[in-house]
Amino acid sequence: MFEKVALIGVGLIGSSLSHAMRRANLARTIAASARTEATRAAVRRLGLADEVYEHAADAVKGADLVILCTPVGTFDALAQEIAPHLKDGAILSDAGSVKQAVVDAVAPHLPPHVHFIPGHPIAGTEFSGPESGFAELFDGRWTILTPLPDADEAAVAKLKAFWEACGAHVEIMEPKHHDLVLAITSHLPHLIAYNIVGTVADLEEEKKSEVIKFSASGFRDFTRIAASDPTMWRDIFINNKEAVLEILGRFTEDLAAMQRHIRWGEGDKLFDKFTRTRAVRRSIIDAGQESPEPNFGRTPAPKKD
């Protein structure tokens, strides 16, 4: 499908893309860059790329498709670094979990002969790094592409076909719209999990130890989410400020109302709210998005031998 694909950053997403490309034979050559020697050594050992570089500028040379797979806070500097070295007609994409901020950070640095099409595979596990990837990560999950209004249709079609060949369903959206939907479905749930675990972390020692002892009654699952990579999530919240604050505002308003119902013993109102939320669940089952295992957006990583 492509002569040469360059992966900038080889963590969970970069390494999974490599496995998925190998599985479906999507690139004659895979080039990769990683900042640490440890990661470059892992990439070589696992055969995740045919060419391994320290600098992104070297990896992108001659590539038809370049995908940024580092935290979104690095994209501005990376775009500046690679812009002069991108091939004529190359497609530049990314895997970043926010999209409008990525457009703002990357687009200004690019020459007109590059097709910039931001993307976001909605798939992950609780692990990170080059050893954590696997070919099936994107199978049956959504990848959202957020091309700019003047995007080249053929390039968008090609990138869409690429993700489909990696196993994903593809949806096209405006960047800001993506950010709002993900703020609700993913960023707010993660923020709340971080927050509730933070509240417990601040408890007096003996209370905390009891909470830990009885954590299996619900709290434990929040701690798994709140163990997600701090760099990635810091970058997500900083770069999706507007949408996160908007939905967080609604959430806290609703929580204040709930608090009042509890304080004033308004059982009927609580009962009504708790009944209404069941309808949302039913819609999710009808939409075929249900699965018996809770996963908070994560696919279980396959057992390695």
Q: Give contact residues for ligand NAP (rule: CB under 6 A).
A: 9-14, 34-36, 39, 69-72, 74, 95-97, 120-121, 124, 128-129, 229, 232
Stretch that binds its own copies, among 38-46, 84-92, 105-113, 282-290 (CB under 8 A): 282-290
Task: Quote the tokens at residue 135.
Answer: 């070919």
Stretch that binds its own copies, among 2-10, 18-26, 128-136, 240-248 (CB under 8 A): 240-248
| Partner in contact with 42, chosen from ligand NAP, its own copies, none, beta carbon below 5 to 8 Å by kind | none
Question: Which of 152, 267, 302, 304 forms a contact with its own copies (CB under 8 A)?
Answer: 267
In the complex with its own copies, the residue whose CB is nearer, 29 or 186, is 186
Whether 49 contacts 79, CB under 8 Å: no
Greatest Cα pair distance in the chain: 67
148 vs 77, 104, 173, 233, 239, CA distance in Å?
21, 11, 10, 25, 18
Q: Does 202 bind its own copies (CB under 8 A)?
A: yes
Task: Quote the tokens at residue 145.
Answer: 């592409």
Query: Cα(17)–Cα(133) distance, rounded to whole angstroms?
Result: 8
| Partner in contact with 25, chosen from ligand NAP, its own copies, none, beta carbon below 5 to 8 Å by kind | none
In the complex with its own copies, the residue whose CB is nearer, 67 or 180, is 180
Closest distance of CB 98 from ligand NAP, Å: 7
Whether 109 contacts 56, CB under 8 Å: no
- For residue 76, give every residue at least 6 positions away whose Cβ sits within 8 Å of its Cβ, in sequence order, or none: 105, 106, 109
Paired strand residues for 65: 5, 91
Q: Does 303 bind its own copies (CB under 8 A)?
A: no
In the complex with ligand NAP, the residue whose CB is nearer, 130 or 147, is 130
| Partner in contact with 69, chosen from its own copies, ligand NAP, none, beta carbon below 5 to 8 Å by kind | ligand NAP
Query: Cα(239)–Cα(247) distance, rounded to whole angstroms?
Result: 15
Closest distance of CB 146 from its own copies, Å: 13
11 vs 35, 125, 134, 205, 210, CA distance in Å?
11, 11, 11, 36, 36
Stretch that binds its own copies, among 25-33, 61-69, 160-168, 226-234 (CB under 8 A): 226-234
In the complex with its own copies, the residue whose CB is nearer, 55 or 250, is 250
In the complex with ligand NAP, the residue whose CB is nearer, 57 or 69, is 69
Stretch that binds its own copies, among 21-29, 48-56, 130-138, 201-209 (CB under 8 A): 201-209
Name residue, tokens 């295992």. 293
- For residue 301, give every residue at least 6 positions away whose Cβ sits within 8 Å of its Cβ, in sequence order, or none: 125, 126, 127, 132, 134
In the complex with its own copies, the residue whose CB is nearer, 67 or 122, is 122
Q: Does 234 bind its own copies (CB under 8 A)?
A: yes
Task: Quote the tokens at residue 70.
Answer: 């580092």
Looking at residues 19 to 58 of the shown chain, list those that interact with its own copies (rule: CB under 8 A).
none
Q: What share of the chain is helix, strand, coil (3-state, %, to 5)?
A: 55, 10, 30
Question: Which of 139, 142, 150, 170 forms a contact with its own copies (CB under 8 A)?
Answer: 142
Q: Does 148 bind its own copies (CB under 8 A)?
A: no
Looking at residues 103 to 122 of the shown chain, list those that interact with its own copies (rule: CB under 8 A).
122
